[in-house]
């Protein structure tokens, strides 16, 4: 009897030639680096260059995070991935009442250019690629990064990295939004235009399915809703007057890798194929790079367990293998203790070593797309593609991603999936090792990393010193220019940069935009 995949699609006990009857490898596969990019976005894949090994890190103060980044680089990390605390993600300064109790807890607190300068001290920005997981205030953090680069003497055209900048998924699954969808999309388009002119090597968005998966989305939902968001961003940029081939090559995506290895490989292959077709046929992209779905992968934090946390080492290894076999461009492997607290230095190093074992001790990087032609994987890829297209059609029928978000469609679909997974886990139908099977009578003690609660007071003191030492009139004038730009149609990143250069804080800049654009109020679930 066939079992079902995470998406509810059938997984047959045996696949044979009949599974691919009438199947055209030329149409479905192509060669690696060629349309429809099922087999990967580069002709040689990892035989020519390994994926970027990123480690998502950041906690407490900028100085503490800076020391941690330097450790990661010393251990072989080839790209930084910055986590910001919730107040920063929500556009609040560390001394704001709403920030109380959250400063430095899930990432680093960055309130101003002073913090960004400390965060990046001694890190060569012309040689390190940096990914920043920030969405609603993404433009602010990127401009702070650019300003610090200027202070280091690094030209903007030498800066490389990615800013997540995916506000639509915040309304669907994560909740760290600030402004309503329409002005948020304008800010996204302004960032596209700014980077094209000023920071040309920067990836302007990482369209994320990862957080939807963490909220309970199935692989089909993860890909369908992510690609629907991508279509919305492309339409927004086109409406702002950009040519598709001016910005599409800098689009990137962010997906999860679960322990269901075969379905995950099929998911990545189907996503590439669908995106290539959409960009070519719907948007008329001519540059082959505009058709490539390039993506970063993070192993599935939602599948890590606080019970028997050492078992997470096995889970992460399998998940990382799925990402590599699926053709990811960069990878973050979670630490085994992240279901308990922020990772320790030892567990973060072990997570990086997991990638290095995959890269250097296995043969998975020796050939491009080793699953090509597999009866099972090719059949599962086709089934995934059909299911994703069906769900994308439902989003389109509701008027596109934004209209569907306003009706709560995606959020409702994901919540139903999350509820089903929870029920299956509680009943034992879904086996989770160490949780509902193969449990221990008594867990072994584990001492997690804890963030010093005094960080909040120290950040408030830094902010007081900043405000006392800056030119208040210059700050007010710059914020006034930002409000004026936000009320009009010009690109807001230029006056925003000047406000940040004058040492306006993240909270002040976001507050100025809130005065013009308002704040988002979520709708009821569809």
Q: What is the mean pLDDT of residues 323-343?
A: 93
Task: Express the helix, strand and coil content of the chain in percent, nearest 5 each.
Answer: 50, 10, 40
Backbone angles phi, psi at 299, to 5 degrees: -65, 160
Backbone angles phi, psi at 403, to 5 degrees: -60, -40
Neighbours of 410 (CB within 10 A): 30
* 446 touches 337 (CB < 8 A): yes
Find the angle CA(212)-CA(227)-CA(372) to the nearest 5 degrees. Answer: 100
Q: Does residue 526 register a pLDDT over 70?
A: no
224 vs 56, 229, 373, 392, CA distance in Å? Answer: 25, 9, 24, 5
- Which of left, alpha, beta for 60 (phi over 0: left; psi -120 to 50: alpha)? left
Q: Does residue 523 register a pLDDT over 70?
A: no
More confident residue, 491 or 453: 491
Q: What is the pTM of this model?
A: 0.90
Residue 336 DSSP SS3: coil
Mean pLDDT across the chain, nearest whole number?
Answer: 94
Kindly give, in sequence order, each residue whose CB lies less than 8 Å from that of residue 439, ignoring residues fewer than 6 positions away: 307, 308
**What is residue 81's predicted lDDT score, i.e. its pLDDT?**
83
Q: Does residue 69 register a pLDDT over 90?
A: no
416 vs 256, 263, 526, CA distance in Å? Answer: 19, 20, 11
**Which pLDDT band, with edges at 50, 70 and 90, does 318 fall under?**
very high
**Which pLDDT band, with edges at 50, 70 and 90, does 297 fall under?**
very high
Q: Does residue 58 register a pLDDT over 80?
A: no
* 294 touches 329 (CB < 8 A): yes
Domains and CATH numbers, the chain: 3-12+37-364+371-427 (3.20.20.240)
Return the structure tokens found at 148. Answer: 């610090």
């Amino acid at each position: 009897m066939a079992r079902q995949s995470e998406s509810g699609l059938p997984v047959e006990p045996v696949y044979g030639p009949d599974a691919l009857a009438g199947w055209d490898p030329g149409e479905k596969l192509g060669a690696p680096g060629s349309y429809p990019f099922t087999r990967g976005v580069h002709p040689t894949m990892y035989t020519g260059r390994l994926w970027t090994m990123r480690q998502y890190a950041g906690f407490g103060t900028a100085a503490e995070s800076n020391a941690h980044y330097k450790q990661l680089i010393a251990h072989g990390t080839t790209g930084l991935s910055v986590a910001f605390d919730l107040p920063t993600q929500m556009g609040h300064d560390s001394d704001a009442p709403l920030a109380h109790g959250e400063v430095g807890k899930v990432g680093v607190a960055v309130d101003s250019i002073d913090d960004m300068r400390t965060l990046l001290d001694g890190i060569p920005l012309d040689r390190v690629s940096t990914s920043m997981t920030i969405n609603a205030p993404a433009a602010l953090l990127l401009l702070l990064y650019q300003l610090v680069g200027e202070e280091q003497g690094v030209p903007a055209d030498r800066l490389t990295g990615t800013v997540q900048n995916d506000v639509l998924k915040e309304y669907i699954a994560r909740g760290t939004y600030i402004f309503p969808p329409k002005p948020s999309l304008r800010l996204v388009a302004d960032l596209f235009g700014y980077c094209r002119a000023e920071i040309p090597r920067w990836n302007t968005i990482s369209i994320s399915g990862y957080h939807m998966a963490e909220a309970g989305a199935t692989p089909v939902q993860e890909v369908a809703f992510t690609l629907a968001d991508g279509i919305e961003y492309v339409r927004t940029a086109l409406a702002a007057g950009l040519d598709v081939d001016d910005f599409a090559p800098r689009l990137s995506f962010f997906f999860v890798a679960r322990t269901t290895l075969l379905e995950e490989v099929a998911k990545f292959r189907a996503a590439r194929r669908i995106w290539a077709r959409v960009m070519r046929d719907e948007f008329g992209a001519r540059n082959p790079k505009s058709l490539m779905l390039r993506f970063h992968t993070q192993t599935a934090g939602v599948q890590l367990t606080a019970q028997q946390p050492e078992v997470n080492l096995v889970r992460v290894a399998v998940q990382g293998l799925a990402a590599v076999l699926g053709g990811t461009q960069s990878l973050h492997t979670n630490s085994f203790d992240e279901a308990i607290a922020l990772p320790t230095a030892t567990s973060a190093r072990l997570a990086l070593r997991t990638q290095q074992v995959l890269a250097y001790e296995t043969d998975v990087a020796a050939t491009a797309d080793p699953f090509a032609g597999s009866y099972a994987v090719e059949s599962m890829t086709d089934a995934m593609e059909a299911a994703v297209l069906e769900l994308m059609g439902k989003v389109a029928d509701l008027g596109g991603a934004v209209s569907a978000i306003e009706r709560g469609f995606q959020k409702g679909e994901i919540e139903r999936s999350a509820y089903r997974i929870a029920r299956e886990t509680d009943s034992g139908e879904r086996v989770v090792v160490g949780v509902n099977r193969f449990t221990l009578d008594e867990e072994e003690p584990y001492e997690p990393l804890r963030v010093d609660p005094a960080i909040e007071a120290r950040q408030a003191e830094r902010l007081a010193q900043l405000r006392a030492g800056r030119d208040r009139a210059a700050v007010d004038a710059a914020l006034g220019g930002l409000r004026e730009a936000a009320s009009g149609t010009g690109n807001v990143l230029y006056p925003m940069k000047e406000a940040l250069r004058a040492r306006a804080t993240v909270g002040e800049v976001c507050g100025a935009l809130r005065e013009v654009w308002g704040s988002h109020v979520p709708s009821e679930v569809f």
